[in-house]
Structure 1
Amino acid sequence: MSIRNLDALFAPNTVAVFGASERPGSVGATIWRNLRAEFSGQLLGVNPKRREIDGVPVYPSAAALPAVPDLAVICTPAATVPGLIEELGRLGTRAAVVVTAGLDKAQKQRMLDAARRHTLRILGPNCIGMLVPHWGLNASFAHIGAQKGDIAFVSQSGALVTAMLDWAGSRGIGFSHFVSLGEHADVDFGDMLDYLGSDPRTRAILLYIESIEAPRKFMSAARAAARNKPVIVVKAGRSAQGQKAAASHTGALAGSDDVFDAAISRAGMLRVFTLQHLFLAAELLARFRDNKSERMVILTNGGGAGVMAADAAAHAGVELTELDEAMLARLDAVLPANWSRGNPVDIIGDAPGQRYVDALTALREDRHSAILFVQAPTAIVPSTDIARALLPLATLKPSRLMGCWLGFDAVNEARAIFRGAGVPDYDTPEEAVRAFSFLQAYRRHQEELLQTPSSAPLGPVADLAAIRAIVNDVLGSGRELLSEPEAKALLHAAGLPVVPTHIAAADAEAAVRAAQAVGFPVVIKILSHQISHKSDVGGVRLNLANADEVREAARAMLARVAAERPGALVDGFTVQPMVKLRQSHELIVGASVDPLFGPVILFGQGGVSVEVVADRALALPPLNGPLAQALIARTRVAKLLRGYRDQPAADMAAIERVLVAISQLLADVPEIAELDINPLVVNADGAVALDARVRLSAQRPAGAANFAIRPYPVEQEERITHLGRELLLRPIRPEDELQHRAFIEKLSPEDVRLRVFYSRRTIEHSELARLTQIDYAREVAFIAEGELPDGGHETLGTVRAGIDPDNDSAEFGVIVRSDIKGGGLGHMLMDKLVRTLRAHGTRRIVGTVLKENSRMRLLAKRLGFAESPSDDDPGLVHIELPLHTTGAQEP
């Protein structure tokens, strides 16, 4: 991931157009004209066949240019592109837009090799170009320009770029950046998210995605950007399920588009499904993002309009507020007797302006509901007058009101008044309700980023030695598919609850003897490495109460398998007690490996009809408790699990433990290719796996290294001795929030001031979540943890560094609890940080220190940091420690 030299791409002072032309309709002429129209910097043309274009001198080559361009726009034949990039790189150009299409694989590779030698960034090839309206930069061959605004739009489709410019221009939508990635050979979505996520002119980021080639880079950049501003995605190819023949239900159910949804949710972004929805969501998140309402009240002067809005809410899953007696009384006091007395709140078509004000004043008393105002124009009072009357209430904070003015000419001014005041406004009730549903989904995704897991372990530690023995034995025998007993043994070693399973020979009497040993009633199943889905061949019989029933069932199974699968080798039967959990639910928990995002976990309603019911949700590992809860909540069966009528709630903690254990299993055992627990039976007393399938692969498709999100790096844990006490130096975890709060509360105000340059008394949950829920791919944070006499733990010091996307520099901070300063713990923490960043390939560690912080300056000097005055503040000093003298490595 890199944002290096993207400033030269998006904010150049000098631009050169290679292939500049005056030939009407040509790409070179269009780009030249677009740049000349607005760009205030130095514009240079290159064309060996021209001496001037439009009275402006044109040069025959890059070497002939009077200045080195910051940005080159290349629209010359494909064969010329690699050589041009090499020449420009040597001259010192640091960015290029390669509009040219048709580069073959070899040409593209030579272009990239030349660019990387000189750290020259490339947008394209085969792209429309890009527009940066605030910079007056239109380096594209789009037919129109873009208005200034604060939305960034990044697209892989060039044709879509021009269409969206046209559509947005007609609606007055402006942009900070408008970028066509083309084939994204260099600059890709991850780079754009990193750049735009910290761009002060960009308030929201809109993406049109067709494919992603670097999922971990994309996820890291997306998670970082989505913490700062809304990121909204349209993904093409929803219908392409990418399903293939699979040994497990999970492998068949986990379609690629579902996995993409899971990735978007995990990154805190919002996915919508049409381009119109892209802008609806962007407007609402910009104007209404702080609204926390889960319900909606509809205020209207027309019954039909209210019904339309209510229907839209039902379709979108938006809950309408039930008006309580107190609210009904408030409204009765200001509305005519024939008002609707329900939600939608219909104040009748003859409503004068004051009635609107009175109704909205009353509804604002409900602090938990958003208000959708739908007004149809009438002859009683102009819509413009209503808008002006409502504006003082409409603009109160926190934002509670969304507007919908029905009609065109009669309501244009009213709509403009609302929009000009920052009130989100929509053309139809359906648009407004849909946008509100987007806000709810976005908020759920954001909450997942800030949830605080429990500090208590969710389950027993896995027996990795036993798991490895099973894996090695199966792969060593040339098999991939585990037998049911092997699969259950593996899950048991991973800490999951499984039903006891016994193996009997492929003989009816052997099955009877096993059943008598287990105790009736029993379940028997056919055991064969060639048969994955046993129920498909009648290979499962439940609730067998005696020996005769077992004998008959075993014989029937053998006969049916012989008839339907004559080539299958039957190894015998599995026999297990018939588990009857009262008031229970059958669930499915599984895992598979997506070709793009790697391991993925599935949860949903289980049983033999799992494909038909199709109630499932997916999540990317690693999981913890809150993320497991969020996964469960995305299914329909979650409502049943919470209990209903005389059905008690299921043991949700037991389900969470299973999901987290599966996540850990995927991290610890790279050979897992597919895993299925179906059914996982759960009731109020717990959960147990009744059947399981596991497929392995010697290609090791799972494992933490293949996660799209880097899991907790347990290998970085280290034990040290400090003042005679053993401490654990380890990466910080989300579960550390309460412990971290206690640590901060024990710091003296002066130590806090020296660390963050100002005093503070409290720290918010959202900030604590950002400190403890880090992205291990681009952040480093270690705590020094000691054990307490009661078995608990405390944090004694912490060191952290944020690594820039280029892996060039890491800005650090370190602090030790005030009552134990001076004992050398700060030096130990800094040494740990330096060693870790050096191994990570980071080039240098930098920091800013108060000049008066003599203790930190002395520590930095002992560690080899060089000190220099700050250019920004005489009270600060800059410190820096080089780690590598060669180029930065990709994380």
Structure 2
Amino acid sequence: MARDLTALFDPASVAVVGASDDPAKYGHAVASQALRAPGRRPVHLVNRRGGTVLGRTAATSLSAIGEPVELVVISVPGAGFEDAVDDALACGAKAIVAITAGFAEAGPAGLARQRAVADRVRAAGAVLVGPNCLGIADNTTELYLASDRFAPGGVALLSQSGNLALELQLRGEPYGLGFSRFVSLGNQADVTLVDLVEDCARHRATSAIAVYAEDFGDGRAFAAAAAAAGKPVVLLTAGRGSASARSAQSHTGALTTSADVVAAACRDAGVELVRTPREMTVVLAALATPAGGPRTAGRRRTAVFTDGGGHGAVAADAAEDAGLDVPELDAATQDRLRRVLWEQSSVGNPVDLAGMGEQRPLSYADTVGELLAAEGVDAVLMTGYFGGYAASEGGLGGGAAGGSVLAEGETRAAKEIVAHLAAVPKPLVVQSMYPRSASCRVLAEAGVPVFAATEDAARALAAMTGRAVSDPGGAVPPLPPAAAPLRDLGYHAVRALLADAGVPFPAAREVTDEAGLLAAAAEFEGPYVLKALHVLHKSDAGGVALRLADRDALLAAYRAMHGRLGAPAYSVEAMADLTDGVELIVGVNRDPRFGPVAMVGLGGVLTETLRDVAFALAPVPSGRAAGLLRSLRGAALLDGVRGRPALDVAAAAAVVERVTAVAAAHPEIAELEVNPLLVRPDGALALDARAVLD
């Protein structure tokens, strides 16, 4: 059930404990901000010495105020923190913002103190932000309890870094970005990132949610909350490139890094994952306002429109680097463009005015109108000199001749572009050499994102053409109920577990001596496979022998292998027909924050060499699994190459669904892997499997 955070963001009254006249103390900064809206609600300043703070009489304690206080900010030394919390709860506080540090971030003893405080707060029916946070602000309720001001707007910013929040504000200013709310996450002892995402999703004044997080807590719950938010969520996180701390014992574990896990969770949840504050600002500029064209559900056929060949070529490359498609325009669209452009214009894609803009600025608008109306175009990226004529007239450095006539024509063109966009709403982004010109301001004020850098424009358009927030196709899969814990994860036990779930395997028997070997060979015909059990990475250790034609070959291979390895047991298996097949890998690695994470890719002995893999949160439905397989670099192998037949991708996807469902239902399994999974034109067959207990 979602938590009620009304007392946190719109309290009836506020008290700042630790308010100070000393500018070096945080209690001074918070108190100064709290007093910015004295008419909205009572604001009480508390300092144990009394006297005056910021020209107002300070109470010596919360109880000395003489009336209940709904929200209390605590900025006192660590030794007095618990007493301050108890006083706040005794005075009826329903929300506490804890600035004080020295808890979980300081070690085990601090963590124990933090947990005890959070338990007391929850028992009292209150909520706690922090400790070790920098405060909160809500521009929509005139609640200012952070050290800095945030320009009003539609972005809710949830951050574990105060300085990063300030940078985002500075970077967002040129794009008119402002903030509905700011919350410094702190240690998330009580109120978590998930709680805040859910509350901001319900907040009408918030149009987008920006998150900087180093600790997700329950990462899967965060992904689920973001997927259900119904509005854009943009994530910047640190430490994505570090590998799991646990020593992996499978290919899956060795290949799965925290960066893969976060990226998979974001893809499934529809979260825009960014790498830098600049990129976050660019994406927010594209998504935080509804104008400029709607988000589309994965349709990325992009028309690049320019007034110079160089800009068009660079923009086309940037668009493709950002994941957009830049196909040649269909013949009908090219014919319509030729009617509005002159002979030397290029109409293939990129579309190039080739100098016509100087002769007739309205050709910009005519071209945009045709591209927006084209059925084969999902989005438009306009790039180059547009804005230069108005910039020249306004003294912003444009170099075009023609003066006010061209400037007026360009401004008219900008207004017509806005009208075309209103009539045919599709994502439209502009890159201009003169983004501050009057004509570009016309576009920006209408909600069209305008950027100075080509790569920023392409990234913004990619965000606008990503999975729509209302599209359930990538929703975070729920975890199934936990099954009875497994104790035996030996090779044949894992095979049996997966076989019971519907994963097909060749016939196999476990043996410990020559008599058992010959008895197994009598149960099914060769050729045979012999595997040494309880040997890590059997192929690398020489513990696998293939294509053993008959019992004599099987016996000889057993004697040689046992002499080298001395394994306690072996598996005798029917040799699968590898003709026209491709080997895949299917694995699940359990992440401490996001739970089971699935991996699919090209498999066999070259798995770690090829590293052609894709990830998703587990369990993975078969439809999503097919999409993952199609996303591999080597996906063309699945459709048949050089005369080979197409493979049964549906059968492979069904195995992915079953393997990932088993792993998700067994939290005691740290790693589960089928490698290789042989996919043929007539089905899929698991040839090897292993599991590792957590």
Q: Could you state the TM-score of these two structures normalised by the residue count of structure 2?
A: 0.88
Contact conserved, 1:303 with 1:346, CA < 8 A, in 2?
yes
How many Å apart are 1:498 and its aligned residue? 0.3
The separation in 2 between residues aligned to 1:311 and 1:137, in whole angstroms, is 45
**1:355 partnered with 2:363:** yes
Find the residue that maps to 2:119 and give its secondary structure.
helix
Q: Cα distance 1:516–1:88, how it changes in 2: closer, same or farther (>3 A)? A: closer
| Residues 791-822 of structure 1, C-alpha deviations (whole Å, 9 max, x = no match) | xxxxxxxxxxxxxxxxxxxxxxxxxxxxxxxx
Q: Which runs of 5+ in 2 are unaligned?
A: 104-109, 389-399
Contact conserved, 2:589 with 2:597, CA < 8 A, in 1?
yes
How many Å apart are 1:621 and its aligned residue? 2.9
The separation in 1 between residues aligned to 2:628 and 2:337, in whole angstroms, is 41
Find the residue that maps to 1:372 and give its secondary structure.
strand
| Residues 749-774 of structure 1, C-alpha deviations (whole Å, 9 max, x = no match) | xxxxxxxxxxxxxxxxxxxxxxxxxx
Matched residue type, 1:362? E
Q: What residue in structure 1 maps to residue 396 of structure 2?
A: none
RMSD (Å), alpha carbons: 2.9
How many Å apart are 1:78 and its aligned residue? 1.4
Q: What residue in structure 1 maps to residue 189 of structure 2?
A: 185
Q: Cα distance 1:105–1:539, how it changes in 2: closer, same or farther (>3 A)? A: closer
Deviating more after overlay: 379-388 vs 650-659: 379-388
Find the residue that maps to 1:202 and give its secondary structure.
coil
Q: What residue in structure 2 maps to residue 231 of structure 1?
A: 233
Q: Which runs of 5+ in 1 are unaligned?
A: 453-463, 562-568, 702-891
The separation in 2 between residues aligned to 1:91 and 1:573, in whole angstroms, is 71
**1:374 partnered with 2:383:** yes
Contact conserved, 1:158 with 1:182, CA < 8 A, in 2?
no
Q: What residue in structure 1 maps to residue 529 of structure 2?
A: 523
| Residues 65-91 of structure 1, C-alpha deviations (whole Å, 9 max, x = no match) | 154222212111112221122122122
Q: Cα distance 1:105–1:692, how it changes in 2: closer, same or farther (>3 A)? A: closer
The separation in 1 between residues aligned to 2:599 and 2:574, in whole angstroms, is 27
1:482-521 superposed matches below 5 A:
482-483=490-491, 485-507=492-514, 518-521=524-527
Q: Cα distance 1:219–1:354, how it changes in 2: closer, same or farther (>3 A)? A: closer
How many Å apart are 1:547 and its aligned residue? 5.8
Q: What residue in structure 2 maps to residue 35 of structure 1?
A: 34
Q: What residue in structure 2 maps to residue 241 of structure 1?
A: 243
| Residues 678-702 of structure 1, C-alpha deviations (whole Å, 9 max, x = no match) | 110112210001112233x4xxx6x
Q: What residue in structure 1 maps to residue 676 of structure 2?
A: 679
| Residues 158-214 of structure 1, C-alpha deviations (whole Å, 9 max, x = no match) | 332233333334653201101111111111111101211111101111111111223
Q: Cα distance 1:149–1:504, how it changes in 2: closer, same or farther (>3 A)? A: same
Q: What residue in structure 2 maps to residue 310 of structure 1?
A: 316
Find the residue that maps to 2:64 and give its secondary structure.
coil
Runs of 4+ in 1 over 6 A off after TM superposition: none
Q: What residue in structure 1 maps to residue 392 of structure 2?
A: none
Counterpart pick for 1:203 among 203, 207, 211: 207
The separation in 1 between residues aligned to 2:469 and 2:683, in whole angstroms, is 27
1:449-598 superposed matches below 5 A:
449=474, 475=487, 481-483=489-491, 485-507=492-514, 518-525=524-531, 527-529=532-534, 531-545=535-549, 549-550=553-554, 553-561=557-565, 569-598=566-595
How many Å apart are 1:125 and its aligned residue? 1.3
**1:435 partnered with 2:441:** no
Q: What residue in structure 1 maps to residue 306 of structure 2?
A: 300
The separation in 2 between residues aligned to 1:524 and 1:665, in whole angstroms, is 26
Q: Cα distance 1:678–1:109, how it changes in 2: closer, same or farther (>3 A)? A: closer
Matched residue type, 1:290? R
| Residues 727-759 of structure 1, C-alpha deviations (whole Å, 9 max, x = no match) | xxxxxxxxxxxxxxxxxxxxxxxxxxxxxxxxx
Find the residue that maps to 1:328 and give its secondary structure.
helix
The separation in 1 between residues aligned to 2:637 and 2:658, in whole angstroms, is 23
Q: Cα distance 1:672–1:43, how it changes in 2: closer, same or farther (>3 A)? A: closer
Q: What residue in structure 1 maps to residue 47 of structure 2?
A: 47
The separation in 2 between residues aligned to 1:168 and 1:607, in whole angstroms, is 48
How many Å apart are 1:548 and its aligned residue? 6.2
Q: Cα distance 1:424–1:171, how it changes in 2: closer, same or farther (>3 A)? A: closer
How many Å apart are 1:311 and its aligned residue? 1.2
Matched residue type, 1:629? A
How many Å apart are 1:10 and its aligned residue? 1.0
Q: What residue in structure 2 maps to residue 412 of structure 1?
A: 437
The separation in 2 between residues aligned to 1:125 and 1:503, in whole angstroms, is 56
Contact conserved, 1:206 with 1:232, CA < 8 A, in 2?
yes
Find the residue that maps to 2:35 and give its secondary structure.
helix
**1:101 partnered with 2:98:** no
**1:403 partnered with 2:400:** no
Counterpart pick for 1:153 among 157, 166, 184: 157
How many Å apart are 1:616 and its aligned residue? 1.8
How many Å apart are 1:146 and its aligned residue? 1.0
Deviating more after overlay: 284-293 vs 681-690: 284-293
| Residues 561-613 of structure 1, C-alpha deviations (whole Å, 9 max, x = no match) | 3xxxxxxx423543333322432211011223222222332211111011121
Matched residue type, 1:34? Q
**1:659 partnered with 2:664:** no
Matched residue type, 1:358? D
Q: Cα distance 1:164–1:38, how it changes in 2: closer, same or farther (>3 A)? A: farther
Contact conserved, 1:50 with 1:58, CA < 8 A, in 2?
yes
Contact conserved, 1:244 with 1:252, CA < 8 A, in 2?
no
Matched residue type, 2:179? F
1:255-404 superposed matches below 5 A:
255-285=257-287, 286-287=289-290, 288-292=293-297, 293-351=299-357, 352-369=360-377, 370-376=379-385, 377=388, 378-380=400-402, 381-382=406-407, 383-404=410-431
Counterpart pick for 2:146 among 117, 140, 150: 140
The separation in 2 between residues aligned to 1:305 and 1:439, in whole angstroms, is 21
The separation in 1 between residues aligned to 2:116 and 2:616, in whole angstroms, is 39
How many Å apart are 1:61 and its aligned residue? 1.2
Contact conserved, 1:291 with 1:398, CA < 8 A, in 2?
no
Q: Cα distance 1:48–1:671, how it changes in 2: closer, same or farther (>3 A)? A: closer
Contact conserved, 1:83 with 1:111, CA < 8 A, in 2?
no
The separation in 2 between residues aligned to 1:113 and 1:244, in whole angstroms, is 31
The separation in 2 between residues aligned to 1:25 and 1:194, in whole angstroms, is 35
Find the residue that maps to 2:577 and give its secondary structure.
coil
**1:176 partnered with 2:180:** yes
Q: Cα distance 1:572–1:46, how it changes in 2: closer, same or farther (>3 A)? A: closer
Deviating more after overlay: 286-295 vs 187-196: 286-295
Matched residue type, 1:388? K
Find the residue that maps to 1:536 and give its secondary structure.
coil
Q: What residue in structure 2 maps to residue 165 of structure 1?
A: 169
Counterpart pick for 1:425 among 430, 446, 450: 450
Q: Cα distance 1:274–1:634, how it changes in 2: closer, same or farther (>3 A)? A: farther
The separation in 1 between residues aligned to 2:510 and 2:418, in whole angstroms, is 75
Contact conserved, 2:308 with 2:384, CA < 8 A, in 1?
yes
How many Å apart are 1:541 and its aligned residue? 2.4
The separation in 1 between residues aligned to 2:130 and 2:343, in whole angstroms, is 65
1:17-96 superposed matches below 5 A:
17-41=16-40, 42-96=42-96
Find the residue that maps to 1:24 and give its secondary structure.
coil
How many Å apart are 1:98 and its aligned residue? 1.3
Q: What residue in structure 1 maps to residue 395 of structure 2?
A: none
Contact conserved, 1:82 with 1:110, CA < 8 A, in 2?
no
Q: What residue in structure 2 maps to residue 607 of structure 1?
A: 604
Q: Cα distance 1:444–1:641, how it changes in 2: closer, same or farther (>3 A)? A: farther
Deviating more after overlay: 93-102 vs 193-202: 93-102
Q: Cα distance 1:371–1:533, how it changes in 2: closer, same or farther (>3 A)? A: same
| Residues 386-418 of structure 1, C-alpha deviations (whole Å, 9 max, x = no match) | 32342322333423422222235xx43222211
Q: Cα distance 1:570–1:494, how it changes in 2: closer, same or farther (>3 A)? A: same
The percent identity for this pair of structures is 34
Contact conserved, 1:78 with 1:107, CA < 8 A, in 2?
no
